[in-house]
Amino acid sequence: MHAPRVLSGMRPTGRLHLGHYHGVLRNWVALQEDYPCLFFVADWHALTTAYDQPQVIQESIWDMLVDWLAAGVDPERAILFIQSHVLEHAELHLLMSMSTPLGWLERVPTYKDQQEKLAHKDLSTYGFLGYPLLMSADILIYRADKVPVGEDQLPHVEVTRELARRFNHLYGREPGFEDKARVAVKKLGGKKGKLFESLRARFQQDGDAEALAEARALVEECPSLSGEDRERLWGYAEGTGKTILVEPEALLTEACRMPGLDGQKMSKSYGNTIFLREDPDSITKKIRTMQTDPARVRRTDPGDPEKCPVWQFHLIYSSETTRSWVTEGCRSAGIGCLECKQPVLDAVLVEQDAMRARAQPYLDQPSRLREVMEVGCERARALARETMVEVREAMGLAYR
């Protein structure tokens, strides 16, 4: 057993903007305070849809990492790495592909959705179909317990759980599993052992999830059990096998609707973004000219913050006091829009200053970034290797 481990990845698709910061990175920064975290650049994932434009990946990978560091992702706390630098992901992906039912992949909602959305691309590829499996391998290889993702990625975490269960069921049956499990039941003690057996029966016969949870708690509370026995008993109760791959749980990232300059979702394709580490003059210009409530044609026309993208920025950046000043001043035409934008502008610039300061050492000395990533990749590899030793053994691939 280890402390709950968090893992998440991001595709290198270009420069990051405030939407990424408030939607994803701020969450990562908070998580690294509470958990051991792994964050990685999903460069192979980017290839599943952009196999014909590998240069975009190459160009954006280092910039994206500097943006992560600028946002406060801390290589002293979290393990940062690049997916393609840990080849073990590919091995686990391959090994799991042997037993992954095609239907499970075809039924992942993003499969058809993305093919329709990206109709200009031919996504009838093996790699694209296998993308959720690759994501499963990313997660399972680190035995990650918690996976922060947006809503669109939830089905992928769900399929990961199913694949982990299937793997444990197929390969977690070490020779003599049942006998070993029964011996472990005895170690619980007579009374608890009996209780465990009845809980196990209740789960397996009636699908009683509470009974399973109780059985798990019973095992957890027994300090004299070895880690191996504990995993055996969990598998035995569930009817799977020894836990080789750990089922992860999705940590749904609250949809932070960071609006763009025009009130739509902030996105590069809408041209409504403020980039991380963008030039202050350019940010100033963008905010000064951003849309407001169209009802305020003249300075004397009252407005409605609910109809104004600037208000959405206040919701992210401003205090309660400033917000009441805005609602009051907007509705009564007591303040002008430029005036109203000033506190937002100030807050964005302060936030950006802090980001630039954190990024500067890596820009001054690009080798530092390479070193940080080298260390991160090495640490990730060590964890991935541990899992693969067990996976190979379980699958009968540990020939000598």
Residues lying near ligand SF4 in the complex (CB under 6 A): 292-293, 296, 303, 305, 308, 310-311, 326, 330, 335, 337, 340-341
Q: What is the DSSP string of 298-321?
A: STTS---GGG-HHHHHHHHH--HH
CB of 339 vs ligand TRP, minimal distance in Å = 39
Interaction residues for ligand TRP, span 45-74 (CB under 6 A): 45
User: From residue 120, how far is each of 13, 14, 79, 111 by CA, in Å?
Assistant: 18, 20, 36, 15
Q: Any idea which residue has 């080849």 for tokens? A: 87
Cα separation, 245 vs 34, whole angstroms: 23
Q: How far is the CB of 360 from ligand TRP (least distance, A)?
A: 28
Sheet of 37-41, strand order: 79-82, 37-41, 6-10, 146-149, 249-252
- Across 180-212, b (16+ Cβ under 10 Å) vs e yields bbeebbeebeeeebeebbebbebbeeeeeeebb
Minimal distance, residue 39 CB to ligand TRP, in Å? 9
Q: Which residue is nearest to ligand TRP (CB)?
A: 9
Cα separation, 275 vs 281, in Å, equals 13
Of these partners, ligand SF4, ligand TRP, none, which one is at the site of residue 7 (CB under 5 to 8 Å by kind)? ligand TRP
Among 70, 139, 258, 380, binds ligand TRP (CB under 6 A): 139
139 contact, one of ligand SF4, ligand TRP, none, CB 5-8 Å limit per kind: ligand TRP
Does residue 42 belong to the site contacting ligand TRP (CB under 6 A)? yes
Q: How far apart are CA 261 and CA 269, in angstroms?
A: 13
Given the complex with ligand TRP, which of 160 and 318 has the nearer CB atom? 160
Cβ-based nearer residue to ligand SF4, 340 or 355:
340
The site partner of 138 among ligand TRP, ligand SF4, none (C-beta below 5 to 8 Å per kind) is ligand TRP
The CB-of-165 to ligand TRP minimum distance in angstroms stands at: 18
For ligand TRP, which stretch binds (CB under 6 A), given 48-56, 70-78, 134-142, 386-394?
A: 134-142
3 state DSSP class of 177: helix
Neighbours of 240 (CB within 10 A): 20
Spatial separation of the C-alpha atoms in residues 395 and 400, rounded to whole Å = 14
Task: Answer yes or no: are the C-beta atoms of 261 and 291 closer than 8 Å.
Answer: yes
Return the one option of ligand TRP, ligand SF4, none that residue 335 interacts with (CB less than 5 to 8 A, by type).
ligand SF4
> With CB cut-offs between 5 and 8 Å by kind, which of ligand TRP, ligand SF4, none does residue 293 bind?
ligand SF4
Q: Which of 31, 57, 123, 135 binds ligand TRP (CB under 6 A)?
A: 135
Minimum distance of ligand TRP from residue 269's CB (angstroms): 16
How many whole angstroms separate alpha carbon 252 and alpha carbon 5? Answer: 15
Give the C-alpha separation, 119 to 117, whole Å: 6
Nearer to ligand SF4, 204 or 291 (CB): 291
To the nearest whole angstrom, how small is the minimum distance from the Cβ of residue 67 to ligand TRP? Answer: 15
Residue given tokens 């991935």 in the structure block: 384
Residue 45: name its binding partner from ligand TRP, ligand SF4, none (Cβ under 5 to 8 Å by kind). Answer: ligand TRP
Tokens of 126: 């093996």
For residues 20 and 165, which CB has a smaller minimum distance to ligand TRP in the complex?
A: 20
Q: Work out whether 352 is an interface residue with ligand TRP (CB under 6 A).
A: no
Instruction: Quote the CA–CA distance of 210 and 387 in Å, as a whole number.
Output: 30
Q: How far apart are CA 261 and CA 283, in angstroms?
A: 11
Stretch that binds ligand TRP, among 1-9, 220-228, 323-331, 391-399 (CB under 6 A): 1-9
Instruction: Say whether residue 43 binds ligand TRP (CB under 6 A).
Output: no
Which residues form the interface with ligand TRP (CB under 6 A)? 7-9, 11, 42, 45, 135, 138-139, 147, 149, 153
